[in-house]
Amino acid sequence: MRIIVLGLVLLLSTTINAQEIGVRFGEVTGNNIAVDGVFEFDGSRIHANVSFGDGLGLDALYDFVYEPLEDELYWYAGVGASTFIEDDFNLGVSGEIGLEYQFDSAPIVIGFDYRPTFWIIDDTSFKWDGFGVNVRYRF
């Protein structure tokens, strides 16, 4: 099962162009670090993470709010699916709200967000500690 999921991730990463790619530090679906990507379209975006460590974590959140507060400072909110594959298969729904700063002088984006997750499949539980810091390169 892990090989199939990893193969799908690699296949999608070669066919989709990210507008931002980087690293997320903090609680990331069972791990502490993840590859972080943002795919923008029509005033909204997909915020996706792939994390490795104790297991394989995948998050894909649709940020339906993506608005500027100032010239370089944006806030966003969204919801999406999360999965964590270790010995068990876990599937849940995550929410997301955050702030990010896009530097004009460099193609760097730094963000801070909160991502609680409601796990539905294998064990029903609610995880409150989803704080993270994102550092991404903007194309």
Q: How far apart, in Å, are the Cα atoms of 89 and each of 1, 61, 63, 82, 107? A: 10, 19, 25, 11, 37
pLDDT tens over the chain, length 139 residues: 555 445 545 544 544 556 999 999 988 777 889 999 999 887 789 999 999 888 899 999 999 988 899 889 999 999 999 999 988 899 999 999 999 999 999 999 999 999 999 999 988 989 888 899 999 999 8
Rounded distance, CA 85 to CA 105, Å?
A: 39
The confidence score (pLDDT) of residue 116 equals 95
Rounded distance, CA 18 to CA 41, Å?
A: 11
**HEC states along 51-76?**
ECCCCEEEEEEEEEEEEECCCCEEEE
The pTM score is 0.81
